[in-house]
Structure 1
């Protein structure tokens, strides 16, 4: 009985112990619940602190039915298929003042405000084929095409181009939109390597380029051309041209460029080639007062031109020059007693220097070309734009052309103007934006021609020019 009493007395004690254990467990559970609630209510860490770096986004083609639009001075449209289209064009408005002081004959002054170029065009790509088309009115004339080409790039990187295009010469291949001076001067006039229909292949390496082409006449020439000397020969002119370039130094701030080019062309059944020039201007008012000042007349049945080119650029300073020799195969006196005669050579060249006091550089590409200036501080960003100072010396020598014995000297009109040209052009350019430019050029030139009887057709020429240009 005593044992039963003891057990009865110990039972409440055991229940008390169990109760205390339960209370302890409950307290632990409450503490855990409070800790979880505190963690749940705490501010979330920033994405930068906790998120892993996202993978770089890849440039995807537009989704089906979506056309991307990118602004490149005008909108470029790109479809999902990769087809692109972009409008392009330029406006160049000039003021030109010419003063000609002649040894004999009438001296004169002339002034004109003119549209040097009003051009509009387009470019784009369809599959592996690209196209570029641009034309307009130049010098107050009717509509004509400059660029009109279709291009295809092979898997090996060679660019095949068919259409109206240029092939050779550093200054010649540089667009009028981006070259330093307003005009290419006598070198461009006498070598006459402008736009013609051609089939061209171009390959560009890391710091070199090669291009070659078979050439015809300008795309703007009418199909039915009258024969010049033979009524049964209405062939258009034809020829071939090639150019190579190499840049042994080519960095963002330093460039050394070397190049050479060659061309052969034949007049076919057209009028013979004429070699003439003006004082750094596409405006030639001298024809209104006694004829062209520097010209051979229509004397060449074919010609072979060899040219060399070089340029050096370091930061904002650059120097470039070219020299060319044109060997003229002259037409026979049997075809023209006035213009026929012995073959002769024309030598022409220039040397130019350019400097940007605002720090810009002339961008150079492996294709052997200088491109458009990028203004470091355009005026819409609070800057003053870019300023460029430039100076060029020009030379042309036509005096190797000789008189023939088929007719009198006075009846050979080219002799009186086949002399020498020496001139200096100073230029100032201001670029408020990369696609807007204001230009001013002044040229002082001396033309020395041979005396023909009492006629001494020498001339001192002064040309002032100014241009407002915008391109897109």
Structure 2
């Protein structure tokens, strides 16, 4: 592993920060004006190493995984807005403005958001990229998550439930994925307190993609494609892949999600499914699930807010240490499509040095088969992350 010394050097260089963790938690990244409006800078920079073994044929790599920068403007109880871009992948992230209904109508009937935002089917995909318990999202989340779209969204949150509905249209900010989508999500939280959470949710979306002509006047039919990397972000190889599904008339996504948090212990899981209706061909369905467990050795709890989890905030000068494990599976064989099947086991450890520095290590054991070919790579991954 040619870059392991780099990660050791990064860890040793930042270790002295543990002695002054409180000072490093108070970065001057925001300014507050007299009327309560707050302007803040935000960023997430992650450097990864992926080492593959087991005759996988996949090349080892180390590179910057994320280089996200943006800004937020908000006035508590009135509105908030965000512009966020990943310079590593040259991709727009969140670009939106959100309003609190109570500030404009006198009663709380929810929050309204307009702009470019995440669609709601996929709990783990909806979690901030800086707050992942693992380096990469699970197989079914990668394959079935629709991504961000331009549209309007409504969220109503109460102590025991959260309701979400959105409508999206046109293309994304890269000029791709034309079509329309309607989505809903409902979450029941019979227990919701710091360090004590039960979260059960259902999500559904219907996408109607449409064909388009590119700048060379080449026609592209409406299509869908379901595939996943082997839970490693520095390779473009997919061991399971449905290929292009044309002509796609409708794409229905469904999700069942759950979170349990009790002190330093946590469980989380999802079951996801996507069905693609195709003109002149039978419907195609892919499905997958994952389950994960977390134990924070230093006693903190995973934070939970607005239907999602966040990074652990260390309570000690030496930071917080978390052990995690996950099992994920996906099945992309259906109808006349042989996209393959795969299941992964992942063991990991996270060190939250401060609220701005995080180190992660994952070991992933992969078992994939497609069209009679079986692949069983093993992956060792490291990440050094700085965020604010």
TM-score bracket for the superposition, by shorter chain length: 0.7 to 0.9
Deviation track 1:258-299 (CA, whole Å, cap 9, x = no partner) reads 01100110111154110001111222243xxxxx42111110
Asked if residue 164 in structure 1 is aligned to residue 116 in structure 2, the reply is: yes
SS in 2 for 1:433: coil
Return the alpha-carbon distance in structure 1 between the equivalents of residues 137 and 115 of structure 2: 23
Could you say which residue in structure 2 is the equivalent of 1:280? Answer: 231
Verify: 1:193 aligned to 2:109, yes or no.
no
- What is the 5 A alignment of 1:140-219? 141=89, 143-155=90-102, 156-157=107-108, 158-168=110-120, 169-216=122-169, 219=172
Alignment of 1:86 with 2:40, yes or no, is yes
The corresponding residue for 1:396 is: 330
**Distance in 2 of aligned mates of 1:198 and 1:307:** 21
Displacement of 1:253: 2.8
Q: Deviations over 1:327-374 (max 9, x none)?
A: 111244xxxxxxxx3212111110000001111101122x22112311
The answer to whether structure 1 residue 247 and structure 2 residue 173 are counterparts is no
Residues of 1 paired with 2:134 and 2:243: CA distance? 27
TM-score (norm 2): 0.84
Contact 1:99–1:110 at 8 Å: present in 2 too? Answer: no
Deviations 1:297-317 (A, max 9, x none): 110512111111111111101
Cα pair 2:69 2:87 within 8 Å, conserved: no
**Once superposed, which parts of structure 1, at least 4 consecutive aligned residues long, lie more than 6 Å away?**
none
Matches within 5 A, 1:249-398: 249-270=191-212, 271-286=222-237, 292-299=238-245, 301=248, 302-332=250-280, 341-365=281-305, 367-378=306-317, 384-398=318-332
**Structure 2 residue matching 1:297: 3-state secondary structure:** coil
How far apart, in 1, do the equivalents of 2:152 and 2:37 lie? 24
SS in 2 for 1:374: coil
User: Which protein has the bigger helix share?
Assistant: 1
List per-residue Cα deviations over 1:380-402 (Å, max 9, x = no partner).
Answer: xxxx2111100000010111132
Distance in 1 between residues matched to 2:28 and 2:145, nearest whole Å: 32
Go from structure 1 to structure 2 and tell me whether the alpha carbon gap of 1:299 and 1:435 turns closer, same or farther (over 3 Å shift).
same
Q: Give the SS at the match of 2:376.
A: strand
Q: Does structure 1 retain, via aligned residues, the 8 Å contact 2:58–2:235?
A: no
CA contact (8 A) 1:274 1:299 kept: yes
2:80 maps to which residue?
130
TM-score (ref. length: structure 1): 0.70
Structure with greater proportional strand content? 2
| Structure 2 segments unaligned to the other structure (5+ residues) | 1-24, 213-221
Considering only CA atoms, is the larger Rg found in Structure 1 or Structure 2? 1
Query: Could you say if the C-alpha distance between residues 395 and 217 of structure 1 is closer, same or farther in structure 2, counting changes exceeding 3 Å?
Result: farther
- Looking at structure 2, the residues matched to 153 and 361 of structure 1 have their Cα atoms a distance apart, in angstroms, of 29
SS in 1 for 2:131: coil
CA contact (8 A) 2:272 2:288 kept: yes
Shift of 1:205: 0.8
The root-mean-square deviation of aligned C-alpha atoms, in Å, is 2.0
Aligned residues: 346
Moved more, 258-267 or 323-332: 323-332
